[in-house]
Amino acid sequence: MASAVSSFLSSPSSSDRLPFRNSNHNNRGIATLSSPFPHLWNPTDSLLLRRARICCSSTAGSSNGSNQQHLKTRRPAEENIREEACRRDEATGSRGFSACYVPFDAPADTAETYSLDDVVYRSRSGGLLDVRHDMTALKRFPGSYWRDLFDSRVGRTTWPYGSGVWSKKEFVLPEIDPDHIVSLFEGNSNLFWAERLGRDHLGGMPDLWVKHCGISHTGSFKDLGMTVLVSQVNRLRRGPLNRPIAGVGCASTGDTSAALSAYCAAACIPAIVFLPADRISLAQLVQPIANGATVLSIDTDFDGCMRLIREVTAELPIYLANSLNSLRLEGQKTAAIEILQQFDWEVPDWVIVPGGNLGNIYAFYKGFEMCRELELVDRMPRLVCAQAANANPLYLHYKSGWADFNPVIAADTFASAIQIGDPVSIDRAVFALKATDGIVEEATEEELMDAMSLADRTGMFACPHTGVALAALFKLRERGVIGTNDRTIVVSTAHGLKFTQSKVAYHSNEIANMVCRYANPPVSVKANFGAVMDVLKKKLDGKLGL
């Protein structure tokens, strides 16, 4: 496949390779006339004219306009939801909310800040960055205001709030113009009550839930972060900023690349993805290919790809889309806010997250912590990060009592998307776990595949990474750390359909040194009634009433 794929490859033309211009220019303006993509969501003269026309026509003829404000009039036929949002946003704008980059874990009064319009991934000292919101501005409103506002936006088509990410826009990218947002209405994912798994296999756990972040546009939680990152790139590339960003690039174990490619394709922005050759599933490989990305299948592991993309993005005007870029985490943190919302703003006891490059565990921390600080809720859940034993640098670090961190060479694992030995967000993960009295667990290949397959037996179709999180849950229940009645959320990070090869191997009993306890291979039967009856009698022994 890799060689077939190589014929798809093409490099960006050299004329696109303009140097970045870092700037503090902070655009608060609304949609512009100079978009490089006139065919795409372009606020052209005619849109401005239409806006003006619509504003006039909606005030004219409504002599008692204020009495009717609570009634939403249908948007005019010639206007789409994006245009409607721009018209509305001219009145409301960012309402004084703002955010900037600061060094990760910097003191409140740090002088080192960067505009989100800067292209910057590292602090002056080479450390990680974080997006810091103006909490004083947000605190002007009580927690109940934010709860009601977010609840009022769920499940609507109003641009951009129909997205589970952008329904929390004020907590994400408060200043972005709705016209620059690239959203596929991601988020709002199912919080699945794992009734049978909890009851039959975890000692009667009545309050066990699976947050299905993988039932999403590209089949993983990465969509939540990518809508934010690609929206910001769209803003930078379009007027008035007009930054010469030739494309967006990432290293990936399969899910980041799928999300990046889809969002870039939707926004007509070139995507470049570096994939470790022969280490990702076929379904994941075909996603960026189908979306028209430039796909480089590289003869190294994920950590090698990550080193290369960092070098390349330092050299070329290609914007980095990995979670080293803290913008991504602003979108991913909304999954935590969504969980709170789905429980009517009650805080669960435990949240278990599979970890690889370790951005997501911090994103969950950040979402919960922001809601606590702004008094949407009154406490924090305890976080568990679950790793595959074959790729467990965080687990080893935790077991050493957070002594020196040592990267590892990650071995092959069925949880291929977390086959990462040198996670870029190690500091963020340690911070999140320490702040929540968190725990790190690991799962062997057999444990993760059994846990995934057992969950499937109860009606799920989990991915192996969710299997890692479920295996951690089994262990913590066995040890009595998680109690029978604890409200527990397992974060499912990808769709099982992306990982059918591993399920086929398991159910075919084809995996060396693995018992495959829950394997359920199909039965081959001759095409005659007697043979079929024999199989059914044997299978349903005693349950046929014969």
Ligand X SMILES: N[C@@H](CCOP(=O)(O)O)C(=O)O
Ligand Y SMILES: Cc1ncc(COP(=O)(O)O)c(C=O)c1O
Contact partners, residue 545, CB within 8 Å, separation at least 6: none
Q: Is 327 in the site for ligand Y (CB under 6 A)?
A: no
Nearer to ligand Y, 43 or 187 (CB): 187
**Contact partner at residue 322 from ligand X, ligand Y, none, CB < 5 to 8 Å by partner kind:** ligand X
Angle between helical axes of 282-290 and 255-267 (0-180°, round to 10): 20
Of 426, 472, 494, 519, the one binding ligand Y (CB under 6 A) is 494
> Which residues bind to ligand X, rule: CB under 6 A?
250, 252-257, 322-323, 356-357, 359, 417
Strand partners, 245: none
Q: Which does 285 bind (CB under 5 to 8 A by kind): ligand X, ligand Y, none?
A: none
Binding segment for ligand Y (CB under 6 A), chosen from 17-25, 151-159, 337-345, 357-365, is 357-365
Per partner kind, with CB cut-offs from 5 to 8 A, the member of ligand Y, ligand X, none near residue 493 is: ligand Y
Candidate list 493, 502, 503, 519; residue touching ligand Y; CB under 6 A: 493
- Is 325 near ligand Y (CB under 6 A)? no
Q: Residue 342 binds which entry of ligand Y, ligand X, none, with Cβ cut-offs from 5 to 8 Å by kind?
A: none
Could you tell me the CA-to-CA distances from 415 to 183, 272, 305, 464 in Å, in that order?
Answer: 28, 24, 18, 5
Task: Work out whether 472 is an interface residue with ligand Y (CB under 6 A).
Answer: no
The residue (of 385 and 516) whose beta carbon lies closer to ligand X is: 385
Q: Which of residues 404-423 bind ligand Y (CB under 6 A)?
A: 417-418
Helix (H) or strand (E) holding 355: none
Residues 8-67 that bind ligand Y (CB under 6 A): none
Work out the burial of residue 412: count CB atoms within 10 Å of its CB; fewer than 13 is exposed, 13-18 middle, 19 or more buried: middle
Q: Is 163 in the site for ligand Y (CB under 6 A)?
A: no
Q: What residue type is assigned to position 20 of the chain? A: F
275 sits in which H/E element: strand 271-276
Q: How many C-beta atoms lie closer than 10 Å to residue 312's C-beta?
A: 16
Of residues 250 and 267, the one with the C-beta less far from ligand X = 250
Query: Rounded to the nearest whole angstrom, what is the least distance from the CB of residue 433 to ligand X in the complex?
Result: 17
Three-class DSSP category at 36: coil
Least distance from C-beta 410 to ligand X, angstroms? 11
Among 160, 331, 359, 467, contact with ligand Y (rule: CB under 6 A) = 359
For residue 170, the tally of other CB atoms under 10 A from its CB is 19
Tell me how crowded residue 531 is: count the other CB atoms within 10 A of its CB.
Answer: 12
The CA R_g of the chain, rounded to the nearest whole Å, is 25
255 contributes a contact to ligand Y by CB under 6 A: yes
Please identify which residue in 270, 348, 356, 467 interacts with ligand Y, judged by CB under 6 A: 356
Q: Judge whether 449 and 466 are in contact, CB under 8 Å.
A: no
Q: Give the footprint of ligand Y on residues 194-233 (CB under 6 A).
A: 220
Comparing CB distances to ligand Y, the nearer of 273 and 358 is: 358
Which positions from 426 to 465 touch ligand Y by CB under 6 A, shown as an x/- string?
-------------------------------------x-x
Residue 187 contacts residue 334 (beta carbons within 8 Å) = yes
**Least gap, CB of 250 to ligand X (angstroms):** 6
Cα dihedral 67, 71, 77, 79 sign: positive
Indicate the residue among 465 and 475 with the shorter CB distance to ligand Y: 465
Report CA-CA distances (Å) from 89 to 27, 51, 281, 428: 15, 12, 42, 34
Structure tokens at 417: 């998307």
Helix (H) or strand (E) holding 439: strand 439-443
**For tokens 């990982």, what's the residue?**
499
CB of 254 to ligand X, least distance (A): 5
Q: By the criterion CB under 6 A, which residues form the site for ligand Y?
A: 220, 253, 255, 323, 354-360, 417-418, 463, 465, 493-494
